[in-house]
Amino acid sequence: MTGLSPIELQIAQHRFAAIAEEMGVALCRSAFSPNIKERRDYSCALFDAAGGLAAQAAHIPVHLGSTQLSVAAAIAAQPMEPGDVVLLNDPYAGGTHLPDLTAVAPVHVGARLIGYVANRAHHADIGGMSPGSMPLATEIYQEGFRLPPVRLLRRGVLDDDIMALFLANTRVAAERRGDLLAQTAALRVGAARLGELVARDGTAPVAAAMRALQDYAERLTRAALRELPAGVYRGTDWLDDDGLGATRIRIAASVRLGGGRVLVDFAGSAPQVAGGVNANFAVTLAAVYYVVRAVAGHDIPLNAGFMRPIAVRAPAASVVNAAFPAAVAGGNVETSQRIVDVLIRALARACPQRMPAASCGSMNNLAFGGSLPPVAQRTRRHRDADRPALRQFSYYETLAGGAGAGPHRAGASAVHTHMTNTMNTPVEALEAALPVRVVRYAIRRGSGGAGAHRGGDGLVREIEFHAAAQVTLLTERRTTPPYGLAGGESGAPGLNQVIRRGRTMALPGKVSFAVVPGDRVRVSTPGGGGWGRAGKTPRAKARRRRPTGQPR
């Protein structure tokens, strides 16, 4: 018994989700970096008093489920008092990778704890071996500054020591401070809105509504899973490499459906590797949640109840469940995408009329940074004011690709797919903030796989540097193309290039290198796989065979 009518459940769901969405608006509008205010690389969520997810805004899928682990780690570290904000990014304490900083705050009415608000934002530099903090590392110590759960604010007062320690470990301190304070501002907005809801409806009714929504999501999920044919379905795919010598890194999964439950077992996946494509368990969990929610085909509220019928097993010290101190920067952005591809391939055997071919399969990560030429200081407020200084810059972005075609439509071109839900950085914003010029930004025509429905095309982004910089590319699907389904052809693999003094040279999928003014970096992203054999149109046949309740 929920205690709420269907209409009341919908109202409660939209009220809680609106709080998370408004937090996102506040974070976006007050952030400093293009990565957050333009690409919107963040997520916001609302949690009940026990730390269970109550609502998440429609932000980043890779944060689905994994943020709840960060909130649990923050709660376990020490009790939070009113006005506290706990900050963490440790992938071995509920985080995903070091650039993703999670901020958590309790919400109290009087002395009573009624819930938590949290957000996670990708910071464009958190220290480490290379600007942008997505290095070709062999251990997490090389990837950047690692924070266990620490109090950034104590009873509403900023801890200057924690902030100073954090800023001392990034190349762009002013930008990091601005983004971090934007996260705390968004938490205040969320706490205020939840407090207003409690003031109007009462503490007990709001808590009861959270529980009722979680139970409702569980029932919907179980009902959706019961519609799928029971059985065990297997899929396998490979990461290209780890950038440090390991190639064709296997990811395997079996998906057991039955009784309104799903068990995903990654037995047979490769052991963790030296390079940073290892995914911690939080990332793997998020990828599974995403695929289950996508295949369910129902409007299921995003909360802890949705997660209850889903179980995940992953071998310890594997590429899908990394053990400390493995490097994990690419696990969050690249391995998560391949896990999705593996699960889609497995479920295509269970419900072929629901599943698309593989999409781009990479977030096509580009990071760079350096120093602008020395300039004379104009102030004597600091002890070393007369000494010329270098103004550091650091940048990070992901690039879109082609979406996989499906049984009923072609794939979209030049879009972010699956575990990334970010936007592109506009050319104007990029050029205004950094010493670069975007020479070309276009759809990569013909890169989508052929088929009865063609895969979407990738894109081409070519950037010319006006200052010396260190560039890191962390990309996938450069040697193993996105697969087609039902006879459709694979999408074109991606291609990374550098143009120097008129000469174009191919680059590996994972590489860090120096550029000088005038150099250009060109990233051509993969297309999506095609669906069905070219020349055949399965639309009418598929429509006749579609089971009741299956999405069109």
Rounded distance, CA 60 to CA 420, Å? 6
Residue 18 has φ and ψ, to the nearest 5°, of -65, -35
pLDDT of residue 363: 96
337 belongs to a structural domain? no
Is 387 a residue whose pLDDT tops 80?
no
Count of CA atoms in the C-beta half-sphere (13 A) of 187: 30
Output DSSP code: residue 464: E
3-state secondary structure 300-361: CCCCHHHHCCEEEECCCCECCECCCCCCCHHHHHHHHHHHHHHHHHHHCCCCCCCCCCCCCC
In which band, very low, low, confident or very high, does the pLDDT at 421 lie, cut at 50, 70 and 90?
confident
> What pLDDT sits at residue 544?
32
- Structural domain total, the chain: 2
Q: Which amino acid is at 460?
A: V
Residues 6+ away with beta carbon under 8 Å from 509:
240, 241, 243, 473, 475, 476, 478, 479, 494, 496
DSSP secondary-structure letter at 11?
H
Q: 117 in helix, strand or coil?
A: strand
Is the pLDDT reported for residue 552 higher than 60? Answer: no
The letter for the amino acid at 463 is I
The pLDDT assigned to 372 comes to: 85
Residue 95's contacts (CB-CB under 8 Å, 6 or more residues apart) are 66, 70, 88, 89, 102, 280, 282
Pull the structure tokens for residue 297.
Answer: 């085909």
Q: From residue 343, how far is each of 2, 239, 278 by CA, in Å?
A: 33, 14, 17
**Residue 65: its pLDDT value, please?**
73
pLDDT of 280 above 60 = yes
pLDDT at 357 over 80: yes
Let me know if residue 299 belongs to a domain: no
Q: What confidence tier does 14 reach under pLDDT thresholds 50, 70, 90?
A: very high
212 with 360, same domain: the answer is no
Domain boundary residue among 217, 236, 259? 217
pLDDT for 423 equals 87
Helix (H) or strand (E) holding 430: helix 427-433
For residue 158, being part of any structural domain is answered with: yes
Region 51-68 average pLDDT: 84
Q: What's the whole-number mean pLDDT along residues 411-437? A: 93
Sign of CA dihedral 490, 491, 496, 501: positive
CB proximity list for 164: less than 8 A, separation 6 or greater: none
pLDDT at 1: 36
Does position 420 have pLDDT exceeding 90, yes or no? Answer: no
For the cut 70, the answer to whether the pLDDT of residue 545 exceeds it is no
Structure confidence at residue 386 as a pLDDT band (50, 70, 90): very low
Q: Greater confidence, 547 or 124?
A: 124
**Is the distance from CB of 532 to CB of 451 less than 8 angstroms?**
yes
- Helix orientation angle between 173-201 and 6-30, rounded to the nearest 10 degrees: 150
Q: In a 3-state reduction of DSSP, which class is residue 442?
A: strand
Name the percent of the chain lying above pLDDT 90.
85
The label of the residue with tokens 């999408």 reads 491
Q: What is the largest CA-CA distance in the chain?
A: 78
Q: What are the distances in angstroms from CA 313 to CA 93, 250, 260, 264, 338?
A: 18, 16, 18, 6, 17
CA dist., res. 125 & res. 369, Å (int): 9
Q: Which amino acid is at 124?
A: A
- Of 195, 217, 239, the one marking the end of a domain is 217
Domain for residue 235, yes or no?
Answer: no
119 in a domain, yes or no?
yes
Average pLDDT over residues 492-500: 98
Q: What is the dihedral of CA 329, 335, 340, 342, to 10 degrees?
A: -170
pLDDT by residue (tens digit) across 293-334?
A: 999 877 899 899 999 999 999 999 999 999 999 999 999 999
Q: In which domain, by residue range, is 468 found?
A: 356-552
Is the pLDDT at 538 greater than 80? The verdict is no
Asked if 316 and 357 count as a contact pair (C-beta separation under 8 A), the reply is no
Residue 377 has pLDDT above 70, yes or no: no
pLDDT in tens, 233-278: 999 999 999 999 999 999 999 999 999 999 999 999 999 999 999 9
Residue type, 153: L
User: What phi and psi, each to the nearest 5 degrees, are found at residue 418?
Assistant: 55, -115
Average pLDDT over residues 126-144: 96
Region 379-405 average pLDDT: 72
Say if 162 falls within a structural domain: yes
Whether residue 344 is contained in a domain is answered as: no
CB–CB of 337/476 below 8 Å? yes
For residue 137, the 8-state DSSP code is -
pLDDT of residue 385: 42
Q: Of 184, 217, 250, at which residue does a domain stop?
A: 217
Q: Average pLDDT, stretch 391-416?
A: 96
Write down the pLDDT at residue 299.
Answer: 83
**Cα separation, 435 vs 391, whole angstroms:** 11
Residue 542 has a pLDDT of 38
Those residues whose C-beta lies under 8 Å from the C-beta of residue 536, and which sit 6 or more positions away, are: 452, 487
| Strands (E) located in 416-537 | 436-444, 458-465, 469-474, 495-500, 503-507, 510-515, 520-524
Q: What is the mean pLDDT of residues 450-476?
A: 98
- Res 390: pLDDT: 59
Answer yes or no: is pLDDT of 537 > 90. Answer: no
Half-sphere exposure of 180 (CA within 13 A, CB side): 27
What is the C-alpha to C-alpha distance for residues 373 and 389, in angstroms, rounded to an integer?
Answer: 8
Mean pLDDT for the chain overall: 92
275 domain residue, yes or no: no
**Distance in angstroms (rounded) separating the CA atoms of residues 137 and 327:** 6
Residue 211 in this model has a pLDDT that exceeds 60: yes
Q: Give me the count of residues in the chain.
A: 552
pLDDT given at position 143: 97
